[in-house]
Chain A
Amino acid sequence: MRLPKQPNELIDRETVVSFSFEGSPVSGFRGDTIGSALYVAGRRVFSRSFKYHRPRGLLCCSGQCPNCMLTVDGVPNVRVCVEPIREGADVRPQNVLGSLDRDLLGVIDRFAGPFTPVGFYYRTMIRPRRAWPLYEKFLRHVAGLGRVPANVESRRYDTEHLNVDVLVIGGGRAGRTAAAEAAADGTRVLLVDERGGTGADGYQVLAPARAIGIYEGGLVPVDAGDVLYRVRAARIVVATGSVEQPLVFPGNDLVGVMLPGAVRRLVDDWAIKPGERAVVVGADDRGLDVTDQLQRAGVEIAAVVDLRSSETARISASGSGGRLRSVVIGPSARKVGCDVLVASGGRQPAYSLLAQAGALIEYEPRRSIFLPRELPAGVETAGSVAGTGDPAAAPLASYGTSEGDKCFVCVCEDVTEKDVRRAVAEGFDSIELAKRYTTVTMGPCQGKLCHLGSIRLLARETGTPEDEIGTTTARPPWAPVELGLLAGRHHEPMKRSPLHFRHEQAGASMMWTGAWRRPFAYGDVEAEVRAVHQRLGVIDVSTLGKIVVDGAQAGELLDRLYPNRFSDLAAGRIRYGVPTTDGGRILDDGTVARLGDELFYVTTTSTGSDSVCEWFEWWNTVWGYDAEIVNLTGALAAINLAGPQARDALASLTDVDVSNEALKYLDARELSVAGVPCLALRIGFVGELGYELHFPASAAEHLWDALVHAGAVPFGLEPQRILRLEKAHVIIGQDTDSESNLLSAGMPWILKLDKEDFVGRFAAELAQERGLGERLVGFTMPSTTLPPEGAQVVIDGWPAGRVTSARVSEQVGRTIGLAWVRPEFATDGAEIEIRVSGSLARAAVTLTPFYDPDGVKLRS
Chain B
Amino acid sequence: MSFLLSCPNCGLRDVYEFKYQGEVTKRPSGQPSQRELSAYVYFRDNVAGIQREWWYHRVGCGQWFIAERDTRTNTVLGTEIPLPARSPDR
Q: Which A residues are closer than 8 A to B by beta carbons?
A: 161, 215-219, 232, 582-583, 614, 617-618, 621-625, 757, 762-763, 766
Contacts and interface: CB of A to CB of B under 8 A. Distances in A.
22 contacts: A161-B14, A215-B2, A216-B2, A217-B3, A218-B4, A232-B14, A582-B40, A583-B42, A614-B56, A614-B58, A617-B64, A618-B21, A621-B63, A621-B84, A623-B85, A623-B87, A624-B83, A624-B85, A624-B86, A762-B28, A762-B32, A762-B41
Contacts of B15: 217
Contacts of A762: 28, 32, 37, 41
Contacts of A161: 14
Contacts of A621: 63-65, 81-82, 84
A763 B29 CA distance: 13
Given A617-B56, A621-B65, A622-B82, 14 more contacts: A216-B1, A217-B2, A217-B74, A219-B2, A232-B14, A582-B27, A583-B41, A614-B56, A621-B81, A623-B87, A757-B29, A762-B28, A762-B41, A766-B37
Contact of B84 (A215, A218, A582, A624): A624
Contacts of B3: 216-217
Interface in B21-76: 21, 27-29, 32, 34, 37, 40-42, 54, 56, 58, 62-65, 74
Nearest to B21: A618
Q: Which 4 A-B pairs have the closest CB atoms?
A: A624-B84, A621-B64, A217-B3, A219-B2
Contacts of A617: 56, 62, 64
Contacts of A625: 84, 86
Contacts of B29: 757
B4 A217 contact: yes
Given A217-B4, A232-B14, A622-B85, A766 B34 contact: yes
Contacts of A757: 29, 88
Contacts of A232: 4, 14
Nearest to A629: B62
Nearest to B29: A757
Nearest to B36: A762
Interface centre among B2, B27, B28, B54 (most CB of A within 10 A): B2
A161 B63 CA distance: 23
Nearest to B73: A216
B19 A216 contact: no
A231 B86 CA distance: 42
A586 to B, nearest CB: 15
Nearest to A622: B90
Contacts of B37: 762-763, 766
A80 to B, nearest CB: 34
A757 B37 CA distance: 14
A623 B2 contact: no
A614 B3 CA distance: 23
Nearest to A217: B3
B86 A623 contact: yes
A757 B90 CA distance: 14
Nearest to B24: A622
A339 to B, nearest CB: 50
Contacts of B40: 582
Nearest to A614: B56
B44 to A, nearest CB: 13
Contacts of B32: 762
Contacts of A217: 2-4, 14-15, 74
Contacts of B2: 215-217, 219
A582 B74 contact: no
B70 to A, nearest CB: 12
A808 B56 CA distance: 44
B19 A614 contact: yes
A582 B54 contact: no
A318 B56 CA distance: 67
A68 B90 CA distance: 63
A774 B64 CA distance: 37
Nearest to B34: A766
Nearest to B56: A614
A402 B64 CA distance: 70
A161 B59 CA distance: 15
Nearest to A762: B37
Given A582-B40, A624-B85, A625-B86, A618 B1 contact: no
A609 B79 CA distance: 27
Given A217-B2, A219-B2, A614-B19, A622 B84 contact: yes
A507 to B, nearest CB: 37
A762 B3 CA distance: 37
A216 to B, nearest CB: 5
A216 B74 contact: yes
A582 B34 contact: no
Contacts of B21: 618
Contacts of A583: 41-42
A509 B66 CA distance: 46
B31 to A, nearest CB: 9
A217 B76 CA distance: 10
Contact of A618 (B56, B74, B86): B56
A582 B41 contact: yes
Nearest to A220: B2
A359 to B, nearest CB: 15
Contacts of A216: 1-3, 74
Nearest to A161: B14
Contacts of B4: 217-218, 232
A575 B41 CA distance: 28
Contacts of B56: 614, 617-618
Contacts of A618: 21, 54, 56, 64
Nearest to B19: A614
A161 B4 CA distance: 14
A291 to B, nearest CB: 47
B89 to A, nearest CB: 9
Nearest to B62: A617
B42 to A, nearest CB: 8
A217 B19 CA distance: 17
Nearest to A756: B88
Nearest to B81: A621
Contacts of B84: 621-625
A219 B74 CA distance: 13
A125 B19 CA distance: 50
Interface centre among A582, A621, A766 (most CB of B within 10 A): A621
A180 to B, nearest CB: 28
Contacts of A623: 84-87
Nearest to B90: A622
Nearest to B25: A582
A766 B14 CA distance: 41
A607 to B, nearest CB: 16
B77 to A, nearest CB: 15
A582 B90 CA distance: 13
A380 B52 CA distance: 32
Contacts of B87: 623
B75 to A, nearest CB: 9
